[in-house]
Amino acid sequence: MMRHALIGGIISLTALVAACQQTVHQTIDKTGEQITGTVVDGIRYTGEVKLVDAAPIRLQVSVIMTNVTDRPLQLEYGVCPVLQGFDNPTLTGTPVWNSEERHDPVTGNPYVCPAIGIVREIGPGESLPPEEQQLSVPLYEIIGHPLLGRFLPDGRYYWLARVEVNGQTIEVTAGEVALEMEEPPLPYQRKIDGLLYQMDTRTSAASPATIESTLTIINTTNEAAETSIAGNCPFSLYAYREEARRDGAYAAGEPDSPRESCLLEMVPLDLAPGESRQFSTTVTGTGILGDSLPEGRYYLAAVVWLESTSMWLAAGDVQLQR
């Protein structure tokens, strides 16, 4: 049985490896697959790296902690694994990318790890969910974007994760992945956990014209599905004068249209198999253009506000007039 609690503070990420006996351990799981991991004090640490098909594409690294003993073990750990990328499979030399030096390439602001620690007990043979030690980084932060410039050359990179558990620093080989700077344009629809999210925009023929943008969420599975979405503003709509900026909106900085404030209060959304739900917002050309933006064609993007993530989608293009 797993038990967990929060504690104040977080163990220093620069702590030395003291009294830590690390071994490379291979076991056979119930499916017959061989698992290689680092075993420290009865806990096997297994790393995994993959690209997540999102907008933007993300590099996601997880460290799975498994109790390989026959007794319960208590773990105390922080919430921010450190990730280092190398250009060689031996993981030697200076890392070409280091999450401890991570900052927002659009604003230049550094990222700060929450000062939170977790205490959890896991039973024999149990594993903590991958989300417990997971870092997900937009790919453009690592390799670059046409709107930001190039940070690293395209190629294959090798990843090392570092976690702090019970006052010890554990290094875990996470694997390798090929990275490319080019990303596809923002999609109009995207599927996450069986839920299909679609954006559509229509312009009325009346004068002055109104623009109605609609988010449709469809349960494409044969089972009931649930998520949480911002109840008062399920999505925010932004306008760009250039299609290229819209298609890379997550890396484009501020949109051309002014941002509207939105209090993100999440509400549950339950959908039966095949059921759909729609959310709409209506604006006028003047509402988007304000007093300063010129009339003309604008390209729309929407950010869907979900509990665990935010999702960028293209929302069409419109000719705007006052």
Q: Per residue in 47-79, pLDDT tens? A: 999 998 877 899 999 999 999 999 999 999 988
Query: Is 139 in the same domain as 288?
Result: no
What is the pTM assigned to this prediction? 0.76
77, part of any domain: yes
SS3 content of the chain, % helix, strand, coil (to 5): 5, 50, 40
Same domain, residue pair 175 and 198: no
Half-sphere exposure of 161 (CA within 13 A, CB side): 29
DSSP β-bridge partners for residue 279: 215
Q: Average pLDDT for residues 228-235, to the nearest whole number?
A: 93
Domain-located, residue 193: yes
Please report, for residues 184, 265, 316, the alpha-carbon distance to residue 189 in angstroms, rounded to integers and kept in the order given.
Answer: 13, 23, 11
Distances (CA, A) of 130 to 9, 45, 136, 248: 22, 11, 12, 29
Strand 58-67 with 43-52, pairing: antiparallel
d(CA 10, CA 164): 9
Residues 146 and 201 in one domain: no
By the 8 A CB rule, do 66 and 44 touch?
Answer: yes
| pLDDT over 80 (residue 242) | yes
Task: Measure CA 292 to chain center.
Answer: 34
- Using CA atoms, how far apart are residues 271 and 226, in angstroms rounded to an integer? 6
Residue 182 has pLDDT above 90, yes or no: no
Print the domain residue range for 236.
189-320
- The structure tokens 């900052």 sit at 103
Check whether residue 91 and residue 197 sit in a common domain.
no
| SS3 call for 126 | coil
152 and 39, same structural domain? yes
Closest CA relative to residue 252, chosen from 264, 244, 260 = 244
Please state, in angstroms and rounded to a whole number, the distance separating the CA atoms of residues 134 and 114: 14
**Co-location of 312 and 216 in the same domain:** yes
Query: Residue 308's pLDDT is what?
Result: 75
Residues 173, 209, single domain; the answer is no
Among candidate residues 148, 179, 210, the one where a domain is terminated: 179
Q: Are residues 155 and 225 in the same domain?
A: no
Confidence class of residue 18 from pLDDT cuts 50, 70 and 90? very low
DSSP helix/strand/coil, 201:
strand
Cα gap 131→57, rounded to integer Å = 18
Please, are residues 64 and 195 in contact by the beta-carbon 8 Å criterion?
Answer: no
How large is the average pLDDT for residues 88-103?
95
Q: Enumerate the β-bridge partners of residue 75.
A: 120
d(CA 190, CA 198): 7
Please identify, among 153, 179, 205, the residue that sits at the C-terminal boundary of a domain: 179
The count of other CB atoms within 10 Å of the CB of residue 239 is 23
- Residue 13, pLDDT above cutoff 80: no
The number of CA neighbours under 13 Å toward the Cβ of 41 is 15
Q: Are residues 275 and 160 in the same domain?
A: no
| 16, 159: one domain | yes
pLDDT of residue 8 exceeding 70: no
82 assigned to some structural domain: yes
Distance CA(183)–CA(175), nearest Å, equals 22
With a pLDDT cut of 70, the percent of the chain lying above it is: 89
Same domain, 202 and 150: no
User: Which domain CATH number covers 228?
Assistant: 2.60.40.2360
SS3 150: strand
Domain boundary among 161, 179, 197: 179
Whether 184 is in a domain gets the answer: no
Q: Do 97 and 218 lie in a common domain?
A: no
* Number of compact structural domains in the chain: 2
Per-residue pLDDT of 19-36, as tens digits, reads 333 444 444 343 444 456
**What pLDDT, in 10s, does the model give residues 117-142?**
899 999 999 999 998 999 999 999 99
Q: Where are the alpha helices (DSSP H) in 101-169?
A: 139-142
